[in-house]
Each structure stands twice: as C-alpha cells, then as structure tokens.
Amino acid sequence: MNKLLLHPAAKPLVFGLCLLPFCWLFYAALGDQLGANPAEALIRSLGDWTLRFICLALSVTPLRVMTGLPALARFRRMLGLFTYFYVVLHLLSYSWLDMGFDVPEISRDIAKRPFILVGFSAFVLLTPLAATSFNAAIKALGAKRWQWLHKLVYLIAGLGLLHFFWMRAGKNNFTEVYVYAAVVALLLGWRVFQFFKKNRLQPLYNGRIKLS
C-alpha cells in the first residue's frame, strides 16, 4: 500500500478525486439540477464540502500513525488547499448569488448575522494557512512558528462547526452537525491523547520535573 501511495500517479489521482464535487456542482448548476432554490443549494453544498475536506485533512495524521503508512502525509497539503478552494467558492457563491457582490451590503450582513460572522472569521483564519502551505513559507517562518500557526486549523474547524450549527438552527435540523462534530471531536481527541502520551512525566532531573 505504501508503494501505491508513493506512485507518481497517486497525487494526480487524489487531485482528480478532490475536484469531483466541484465538477458535479458545476454540471448540476448548468443543467438546472440543484432543485427549487439552486443558489441556496450551491452555497450550502460548497460549505458542506469545506467541512468534509477539513475532516479529511485532519484525518491524515491519525491514519498515517495507526496504519503505519507514512506516505499518506504527502496528501495532507493537497487536502488542506482543497479545503481553502471550497471555502473560497462558498464565500464567492454567497457574495454573488445572495448579495450580488454588493460589498457594503455584504459587510452589513456579516456584522448583523452571527453565523455569517463566524463563517467569515474561519475563512480569514484559513487564509494564512493556505498562503504558508509551501516549502518556501516553512523556511521563511521556521518550522516551530509554522507549526504553531497551522494549529489554528483546530480553531477553524470549531468555527466551521459553529457556523454550520447556527445555519441549521433555523430549520432545527442538527443531524449532520452532530456527525461532523463527532468526527472533529474524535480527531482532536486523538491528538490530545497523543500529546499527553508524548509529554508524559519523565524522571526528575536536577530536582525539577522535565517534560519530554
């Protein structure tokens, strides 16, 4: 399996799979197959795919560790950038189809509606992560600062869930919210467990407790 993941065709294949939701939504929009309210369906579908790609990106490290497949790590950056790709499309669809690219009206809407403010905040926080996903940025920031910056993904996932929760609150439909929340909680819980496992108390050195 590790050899298959390292195959030169693996990345183009994953790239193509990541584009499939966009291609389907584009085709459905052109073919008027998005239901009675196509604008709302498109905006919400792009938001759903943003959450799904956040979950996929967060799942790479646990899967890599649990399956013993280090080659999985080579897809993490791509999944993170596709998360940003879909959130940009989500924001553009809202700005165009709901607001007609009326910037003053968009600003008022963001300030007026908390769930849009939370979603926009997640987009703003995700932007520097996408901008620093390249090797040159890692070298410029330094590995430690880069790692701390990219820990914002946990806050972004939480804001995305809150945005989704408030959006569904109007229809009192929380089933999908609970599913995404459970997945994010499981992935974050695994990281917390690994953190405490790695940093468990070590023998005393020089009369002080030292963390590994």
pLDDT confidence of residue 171:
79
Backbone angles phi, psi at 208, to 5 degrees: -125, 150
In the chain, where are the structural domains located?
Answer: 2-198
Q: What's the pLDDT tens digit per position in 77-93? A: 999 999 999 999 999 99
Q: What's the pLDDT tens digit per position in 52-76? A: 999 999 999 999 999 999 999 999 9
Nearest to 50 by CA among 103, 90, 3: 90
Q: What's the pLDDT tens digit per position in 24-62? A: 999 999 999 999 999 999 999 999 999 999 999 999 999
pLDDT confidence of residue 211:
39
pLDDT confidence of residue 206:
47
In sequence order, what DSSP letters do the residues of 73-140 get, joined into one string?
A: GGGHHHHHHHHHHHHHHHHHHIIIIITTT-HHHHHHHHHH-HHHHHHHHHHHHHHHHHHT-SHHHHHH
pLDDT confidence of residue 173:
85
Nearest to 125 by CA among 183, 83, 92: 83
Burial (CB count <10 Å: 0-12, 13-18, 19+), residue 90:
buried
Give the model's confidence band at 172: pLDDT under 50 very low, under 70 low, under 90 confident, else very high.
confident
Q: Which residues on neighbouring strands pair with residue 201, listed in sequence order?
A: 211
- State how far the alpha carbon of 159 is from the alpha carbons of 122, 131, 180, 203, in Å: 6, 19, 12, 39
Q: Which residues contact 95 (CB under 8 A, 6 or more apart)?
A: 101, 106
Asked if 93 and 42 touch (Cβ cutoff 8 Å), the reply is yes
Q: How far apart are CA 107 and CA 112, in angstroms?
A: 9
Give the mean pLDDT of the chain: 92
pLDDT confidence of residue 197:
83
Between CA 30 and CA 33, with CA 32 as vertex, the angle to 5 degrees is 110
